[in-house]
Structure 1
Amino acid sequence: MSSEKITAEVRTEFGKGAARRIRRENKVPAVVYGHGNEPVHLTLPGHETMMAIKHGGANALLELVIDGTAQLALTKQVQVDPVRRVLEHVDFVAVKRGEKVTVDVPVHVVGDAAAETLVVTDTPAIQVEAEATHIPEQFEVDVTGAEAGTQIHASDIALPSGVTLLTDADVLVVNVTAAQTAEAAEAELEAAEAEAGIEKDEPEAAAAEAADSE
C-alpha cells in the first residue's frame, strides 16, 4: 500500500463553529493520535483528502506533512455528510514504516456460484496484523462454480506474506446455500402469517362477500 502525501495545517481553533468555518473553505478538520503523543489537530485540503481516502480504501495510508515534517497516518474513522457526501472529519493513527498494525480488511466476493444457489457474506471484513505500509486493500474470495453447501472460513483466505490472521480461523466468511424456491417462500410466508394469527380469505369466499355487499 503506497501513501499519498498531503500538506496539513495545525489547527488551533476548536468547536462546532470553527469546524463549520473550516468546511466552508472546502477543508476538513482532522486529528492524529498515537505513539503516546498528545493528539495533533489538523486542517486538510478537502478534495485532495477525499480522493486519497477513496484511492486508499478502508485503511488508507496518508503521508501528512505537518510543519515541514512528514508523518505516516493510517485512517481510522471517517465522517461523511450524508447529504452532500463530503468529508466532515477524519481520525488518523500515527504509524511508522516497519511497524505492525491491527486492521480490519474488507472481503470482496468475485465470480458466479453454481445455478440455484445464494451466496451470503457472513463476515464482511477480517482482522489481520500487517506492516503499516503493506496493508491489503481487500481480500478476494472466488466462488466461481461453488455448489450449495460450500463454506469459506477465515482460515481459507490466502494472506500475503507478512500478514497474520487475527480473526478466529473457524469464523464463517462466505456461505453458499441453495436458493429458496417460490413455493418454499410462499409456504414460509403462510406459516409466519398463521403463527401471527393472520387469516386470509379464500378467493371464492371473498368474491361471494363482495357480491352480497352490492
Structure 2
Amino acid sequence: MSQYVLNAEVRETLGTGASRRLRREEKVPAILYGAGKDAVSLTLEHNKVIQMQEDEGFYTHILTLNIGGESVEAILKDIQRHPYKPKVTHLDFQRVDASQKLHTKVPVHFLNEEAATKGGNTVAHHVTEIEITCLPAQLPEFVEVDVAAIEVGATVHLSDITLPAGVVSVELAKGADHDQAVVTVNAPKGGAAEETAEEAAE
C-alpha cells in the first residue's frame, strides 16, 4: 500500500452550493475517474490533504484512497487552491491500472548547483518537470540532473537525460524538434571577452 493514504467518502450531493458547504465543514470535494470506470465524486478531510500536499511525493507517488472500505490506487492529476487563503478547493484523481501506462509529470531535481555557480556562473532552469508515460510500477518520484557536470555555456536537453527503464519522455516521442532545453550553465556577465572589448574601446 502507498505511504500516502487518504480516507474518502462518496459524495451524493453535487453542485457549487454543496461544494461550498463542504468547504465550510473543512472538507474538500474531489473526483476519481479513469481505468474504464465511471467517475465518482468524493469528499476528503481538508486537514489531511493540507498536510500531505506539502510533500513533493504527494504529486508523483501512487496514492491509496480508502473509499467505503475499498482501497483504490490513484495518482493526483489536478489540485485547485483558494487564490489567497491556505485552502485546497478541489482535487482530481485518476485510477491506476497496473497494466495501463500513466501519462503524468515528474519534477526535476537539480543537483550540485552550488558547485556549478562557483566563479560567478549562473544556472538557468528552463523546465522544472518532465512529462512522461510509463507503467505504474515504473513511475519515478523525480528525475535528477547533475548541474556540476555541465560545461560552462552548455545546455542540457531532454535527450541528454537518462530516464529510468520503461519511462518515456512525451515531448521526445513527438520528434527531435521537441528536444526541450532543461538547464543551462552560463558564464558570469562581464567575462574576460567583454573586459577585453571594453579595454580596447577605451
Q: Which runs of 4+ in 1 moved over 4 A?
A: none
The answer to whether 1:136 aligns with 2:137 is no
Any idea what SS the aligned residue of 1:144 has?
helix
What is the aligned partner in structure 1 of residue 45 from structure 2? Answer: 45
CA deviations over 1:100-156 (Å, ceiling 9, x no partner): 211111212221314232211112221222222442222121112644212111122
Question: How does 1:1-214 map onto structure 2 within 5 Å?
Answer: 2-55=2-55, 56-111=57-112, 112=114, 113=116, 114-144=118-148, 146-168=150-172, 170-181=179-190
Structure 1 162/3 Cα, relative in aligned 2: closer, same or farther at 3 Å?
farther
Structure 1 91/149 Cα, relative in aligned 2: closer, same or farther at 3 Å?
same
Unaligned runs of 5+ in 2: 195-202
What is the aligned partner in structure 2 of residue 201 from structure 1? Answer: none
CA distance in 1, matches of 2:16, 2:95: 25
Query: Share of identical aligned residues, percent?
Result: 37
Contact kept? 2:59, 2:75, Cα under 8 Å: no
TM-score computed with the length of structure 2 as normaliser: 0.79
Letter in 2 for 1:126: I
CA distance in 2, matches of 1:52, 1:61: 13
TM-score computed with the length of structure 1 as normaliser: 0.75
RMSD value, Cα: 2.4
Q: CA deviation at 1:27?
A: 1.1
CA distance in 1, matches of 2:131, 2:171: 5
Structure 1 8/79 Cα, relative in aligned 2: closer, same or farther at 3 Å?
same
Letter in 1 for 2:33: Y
Matched pairs, number: 183
